[in-house]
Amino acid sequence: VILPVLPDATFGPYGVLNPFQIWWMVVLIVGLSLLGYVAYKLFGTRAGSALAGMLGGLVSSTATTVSYARRSKEEPESSRLAALVVMIASTVVFARVLFEIAVVAWGSFADLAPPVAAMLGISAVLSAAVWLVDRRQELEPPEHENPAELKAAVLFGVIYAVVILAVAWAKERFGTAGLYTVAALSGLTDMDALTLSTARLVDSGRVAPADGWRAILLAALSNLVFKAG
């Protein structure tokens, strides 16, 4: 409803704030999260551990990590299985990143995708190994919030706008060191905004592909450290 009425023009410093493109990113992420939410509503209480991790990665891997970490504190015997769900959710994040790059920066996909795909492969192997050990147990998935609520959508739009502006400013002011700093900080709690903003800047020629995939991987590693914490 909102997307068609927004102006498709750039505003502000560095020419990176485009209301239409910002809200298009909101529609993309909310739509992706909504698919996971609908699947959770359909299969949630019957979902096995592997499916619970996949759905958690689609909706929010960080929220999934917090939920299962709390559960493992209350039920120590479920800790290994909770770790499996968190691992699978974190693996799905890399698949989600690849999908986002393909959608918003297809022209640069071949430059940005290989390192992310390598991380996806490594994470998938580790998840499969843990699943083979603990596949006989199951945990009921925690309740997730509806990602299509307007408040959540607007919040992501603001975060995306701030991140893309911060990336452009840091790259202009401090070079690649500034870009990596923004990536590490923004990746702590959210991978989507940094991935989308960096991919768009690479596709427009504002950021070199090598700097782009390094920033995305740095954000991913920062996110993993945050989840471990």
pLDDT of residue 57: 83
Percentage of the chain beyond pLDDT 70 is 91
pTM of the model: 0.82
Give residue 179's Cα distance to chain centre: 18
User: Under a CB-based contact definition with an 8 Å cutoff, are residues 155 and 129 in contact?
Assistant: no
pLDDT category at 40 given cuts 50, 70, 90 is confident
pLDDT of residue 66: 84
Question: Which of 93-97, 146-150, 210-214 is predicted with the least confidence, judged by mean pLDDT?
Answer: 146-150
Cβ-based burial of 149 (10 A; exposed 0-12, middle 13-18, buried ≥19): exposed
Give the residues across from 11 on adjacent strands.
Answer: 17
Cβ neighbour number for residue 14 with a 10 Å cutoff: 15
The Cα–Cα gap between 127 and 65 comes to 15
User: Under a CB-based contact definition with an 8 Å cutoff, are residues 180 and 219 in contact?
Assistant: no
Mean pLDDT of all residues in 145-159 = 80
The Cα–Cα gap between 139 and 56 comes to 13
